[in-house]
Amino acid sequence: MELRFWRKKETREDTLTLEDLLLQAGIKQDNITRDMALNIPTLAGCVELISNTVASLPIKLYQELDGKVNEIKDDIRLKLLNDDTGDTLDAFQFKKAMVQDYLLMGNGYAYIKREKGAFESLHYVKQESASININADPIFKQYDILVNGENYKPYEFIKLLRNSRDGATGTGIVESNNKLLAVAYNSLDYENILAKTGGNKKGFIKALSKLTDEAIAQLKEQWNKMYSKNSENCVVLNNGLEFQESSSTPTELQMNENKVSNGNEICKILNVPPSMITGDGKANESDYEKFVKMAILPILKSFISALNRDFLLDKEKKSFYFAFDIKELLKGDILKRFQAYEIALKNGFLGVNEVRYEEDKPEIEAFNDVIKLGLSDVLYNTKTGDIYTPNTDKSSNMKGGENIEN
């Protein structure tokens, strides 16, 4: 005997999703390009803010020898990175373009022109103009860079790579977050159509008599044309036809809410507090600190790593290094940092030159091996044991020597 179990038929009210709405309008895009992505205001704003911030920071060159740090000021590379690249782009435009390619496409490239071994100029190369030819060995990876069919070695380029797993190619947000960008772009495109057509009026067409299939098909075609990507803005109703507008669907009512949500998600993937993009005046010091630490500092680290790898000679790599000057960027943190130094100096567990070393400043010889015992009272030489009291101009020795008046 065969047993059959019958399940009660479920009924539900048909609802129109955002995807359905976009499909009806004929604007659903599944694959978003760089140019399309930059039409999304939140994304464009975040990329502009980040790239401008990084490009505004000067880059410095230092040499560390025997624990002493000296700033190098007369090197051609500093001019190329901060002033004139020797190319059509100035240094600000160069750094900005590199960071934008890094964020959007995952790869920023700059060709290093050398003349007889000396650095001569830097040439930004559009990401789409370069391709990578990498070997198949997962351990001993090697690759070449191809530009307009010409082959170059990796050391001939500064390479700024985002989320790289092979050291040759990176992944930008256009690829890694394409679905989110597609939703945001399609919603924006839909709003644009509504603005052109005066709003998407949904409803019913009532007829005094039954319409033929051909008449129904023509009406549908006219209506879809009106709210798709074309300039149609009128539907002609024949005698006996009447349009009755229906109320907005929940999906339509939520479009503004979805726009805000999509914007927040874009801010999240770029580590930018939404308050810094909306311009509503709600951004505070905490938001700025998060922006600097989460969005800017990782890019600076990546940029400096690329410069130290590709823009230093092999003989320089043991003692020279590049660094961004971030004093202006960290103005809010300077007070906290200096207060910490003050505590360290006052309590004698850091010396003046140790503090200067942390700030990439050259040492002052008079403070070598000296710590303060009482911030303005006593100087103690950790090597000789000598103690000097500035306000009395007297010296003594902790190993048993007598006070000596200078």
* Averaged pLDDT in 10-residue chunks for the chain of 406 residues: 42 48 56 94 97 97 90 96 97 98 98 94 96 92 94 96 95 95 87 64 67 77 65 56 61 66 93 88 85 96 97 95 88 73 79 78 72 60 72 66 51
In-domain check, residue 221:
no
Q: Are residues 399 and 288 in the same domain?
A: no
In-domain check, residue 138:
yes
Q: Are residues 272 and 153 in the same domain?
A: yes
Among 289, 306, 329, the domain-final residue is 329
In the sheet that 107-115 helps form, which strands lie side by side, from edge to edge? 118-125, 107-115, 157-161
In-domain check, residue 228:
no
Residue 200 in contact with residue 189, Cβ under 8 Å? no
Q: Are residues 175 and 87 in the same domain?
A: yes
Give the H or E element holding residue 405.
strand 404-405
Structure tokens at 134: 């990498």
Residue 275 in contact with residue 287, Cβ under 8 Å? yes
CB atoms within 10 A of CB 81: 24
Q: Distance between alpha carbon 91 and the CA centroid of its chain, in Å?
A: 18
The per-residue pLDDT for 71 is: 92
In-domain check, residue 238:
no
In-domain check, residue 229:
no
Q: Are residues 308 and 395 in the same domain?
A: no
Residue 91 in contact with residue 81, Cβ under 8 Å? yes
The per-residue pLDDT for 340 is: 80
In-domain check, residue 21:
no
Q: Are residues 79 and 63 in the same domain?
A: yes
Q: Are residues 317 and 360 in the same domain?
A: no
What is the rounded CA–CA span in Å between residue 39 and residue 190?
Answer: 13
Cβ contacts of 272-275, under 8 Å, gap ≥ 24:
272/46, 272/49, 272/50
Q: Are residues 177 and 270 in the same domain?
A: yes
Q: Are residues 283 and 374 in the same domain?
A: no
Q: Are residues 269 and 356 in the same domain?
A: no
Domain total in the chain: 2
The per-residue pLDDT for 202 is: 62
Q: Are residues 256 and 390 in the same domain?
A: no
In-domain check, residue 205:
no
pTM over 0.75: no
Domain boundaries, position 322: 28-195+250-329
Q: Are residues 40 and 103 in the same domain?
A: yes
The owner of tokens 């009660």 is 8
What is the rounded CA–CA span in Å between residue 110 and residue 159?
Answer: 7
In-domain check, residue 162:
yes
Q: Are residues 171 and 32 in the same domain?
A: yes
Structure tokens at 95: 């750094």
